[in-house]
A and B are shown apart, each in its own frame.
Chain A
Amino acid sequence: MAKIVGTITTSHVPAIGGAIAKGLQSDPYWKPFFDGFPPVREWLAKVKPDVAVIVYNDHGLNFFLDKMPTFAVGAAPEYRNADEGWGIPTVAPFRGDPELSWHIIESLVAEEFDIVTCQEMVVDHAFTLPMALCWPDQKWPVRTVPVVVNTVQAPLPSAKRCYKLGQALGRAIASWPKDEKVVVLGTGGLSHQLDGERAGFINKEFDLKFMDSMIDAPDWATKYSTVELVELTGTQGVELLNWMVARGTLPEKVSKRQANYHIPISNTASGLMVLEPAA
């Protein structure tokens, strides 16, 4: 049976792609962010996942507002990155795993998560940059399954629903009959707001509480409505919903393998965590 080896949750702001392209990993502005990742790569080299399930939000590359699924699962043999309009270099295509995708789809729908299925899907920076942070040579050693959460157009799914989706996703993966190792990525956040007079809003106190909750109180954020989460974390800080899905795939008891928090990258408080099921 398949096994979830752990979760990696990380910010995904486009400026990371610019920094990678310009080789700014050791630049004083970027170093505190990039320095969080060598331990992640060491962990990945040790656990050697076969598959990465990436939980993220599309920012208007694959989905437009004509059709906006609350939850969608990719079921394509390959996922390509494409021009998003602001000039960060595109990355090599990712191998999919349609068999596993359909297994997950079957299992989620059986559990009454009526997700949208996508046999064609382009993946944006929220998928590609976390992958590039994990595997900087961009020779992807894993097959991938994208899971997309609407954090763009309200009403957004609640944190509670996202956590439950993660739990169902965890059961789906665990029931995959192949003897394979799966890492779950949850991308986005932490607190940031790009738009409005409140642009530049960051909430360190909330972010640190949230990161703590990921370890020993995984349902802590489920007490907030999505509007409350906007107030607490910013209009784009609600991307922490993707972290909630990822966290839901793990058992209640976890061990922390890495954590990093830094203000700011671009307009964002960056967060990074690696969690494993407790031994």
Chain B
Amino acid sequence: MPSQNPRQPVPGTTIFDGEQARRGYALNKMCYSFNDAANRKAFVADEDAYCAKYGLNAQQREAIRNRNVLQLIEAGGNAYYLAKFAGIFGLDMQDIGAQQTGMTKDEFKAKLLAARG
């Protein structure tokens, strides 16, 4: 299915450009803070307060609450920063891939293996 947005010509893909970077700034800034173990702990202790501190908008707050990667990208999240958020829950890249593609983790791993041809 071709993308309708001329700025985003690759199907199933959101190129992280200036528009995304502006939209997602607060969200990515919060995720950047998760480099620090004390901040990860503070988020877990009081998620509402932590999100409020970084000024997440309603869409970003909801996406964080849902732990939903596609929603987080829609809200301006960048993969590298979102990975730090996922790290809090011990999720690896196959967990993330499975969630975004609607597959089980085993199905997603099989998809990767299939790329060997």
**Which interface residue of B10, B34, B92, B117 has the most chain A CB atoms within 10 A?**
B10
User: Could you tell me the distance in whole angstroms from the C-beta of B56 to the nearest C-beta in chain A?
Assistant: 15
Contact B101 A83 (CB under 8 A): no
Q: A64-B29, A153-B21, A153-B78 are in contact. Are A198 and B87 (CB under 8 A)?
A: no
**Which of A82, A86, A153 counts the most chain B CB atoms within 10 A?**
A86
Chain A residues closer than 8 Å to B78, beta-carbon distance: 60, 65, 152-153
With A65-B25, A87-B87, A263-B113 in contact, do A198 and B34 touch (Cβ < 8 Å)? no
- In the complex, the answer to whether B73 meets A195 with C-beta atoms within 8 Å is yes
Q: Which A56-83 residues sit within 8 Å CB-CB of chain B? A: 59-61, 64-66, 82-83
Contacts of B80 in A (CB 8 A): 59-60, 152
Report the Cα distance A197→B13, complex, angstroms.
7
Residues of A within 8 A of B25 (CB): 65
In the complex, the answer to whether A85 meets B112 with C-beta atoms within 8 Å is no
Q: Are A86 and B112 in contact (CB under 8 A)?
A: no
A61–B14 touching, CB < 8 Å: no
Given A85-B84, A194-B83; A199-B96 close (CB under 8 Å) = yes
- Determine the residue in chain B with the shortest Cβ distance to A198: B12
Cα separation A200 to B79 with both chains bound (whole Å) = 13
B64 within 8 A of A: no
Q: Which residue of A lies closest to B11 (CB)?
A: A198
Query: Closest approach, in angstroms, between the C-beta of A108 and any C-beta of chain B?
Result: 25
Determine the distance from Cα of A200 to Cα of B113 in the docked complex, in whole angstroms.
Answer: 10
In this complex, the member of B80, B87, B94, B97 whose beta carbon has the largest number of chain A beta carbons within 10 angstroms is B80
Cβ of B81 under 8 Å from chain A:
yes
Give the A interface residue count (CB, 8 A): 40
Whether A230 touches B10, Cβ cut-off 8 Å, given contacts A65-B28, A153-B17, is yes
| A58 CB → nearest B CB, Å | 9
Does B93 make an interface contact (CB < 8 A)?
Answer: yes
Known A84-B35, A199-B101; contact A193-B87, beta-carbon cutoff 8 A: no
A278 at the interface (CB under 8 A from B): no
Among A14, A196, A235, A269, find the residue whose CB has the most chain B CB atoms closer than 10 A. Answer: A196
Bound-complex Cα distance A196 to B13 (A): 5
> B50: CB under 8 A from chain A?
no
Known pairs A83-B37, A85-B34, A152-B78; A194 contacts B16 (CB<8 A) = no
- Could you tell me the distance between the alpha carbons of A204 and B117 in the complex, rounded to whole angstroms? 8
A15 with B92, Cβ < 8 A, contacts A153-B17, A227-B15, A235-B79 known? yes
- Residues on A with C-beta less than 8 A from B14 are 195-196
**Is the pair B87, A155 in contact by a Cβ cutoff of 8 Å?**
no
Q: Which residue of A lies closest to B108 (CB)?
A: A200
> 1/0 per residue A193-213: CB within 8 Å of B?
111111110111000000000
Cα separation A121 to B103 with both chains bound (whole Å): 39
A29 CB to closest chain B CB, in angstroms?
A: 10
Task: Give bound CA distance, A53 to B98, whole Å.
Answer: 36
Nearest 10 A-B pairs (CB), nearest first? A198-B12, A86-B87, A85-B84, A197-B12, A202-B115, A195-B79, A154-B17, A264-B112, A59-B80, A199-B97
Enumerate chain B residues within 8 angstroms of A227, measured Cβ to Cβ: 9-10, 15
Q: Are B17 and A267 interface neighbours, CB within 8 A?
A: no
Q: List, in ascending order, chain A residues with CB within 8 A of B32's CB.
A: 60, 64-65
For residue B68, CB closer than 8 A to chain A, the reply is no
**Can you list 25 A-B contacts with CB-CB less than 8 angstroms, sorted by A residue number?**
A59-B83, A60-B28, A60-B35, A60-B81, A66-B29, A82-B35, A83-B36, A84-B35, A86-B84, A87-B87, A152-B78, A153-B78, A154-B15, A155-B17, A194-B79, A195-B14, A196-B70, A196-B73, A197-B11, A198-B13, A199-B12, A200-B97, A230-B10, A230-B15, A235-B13
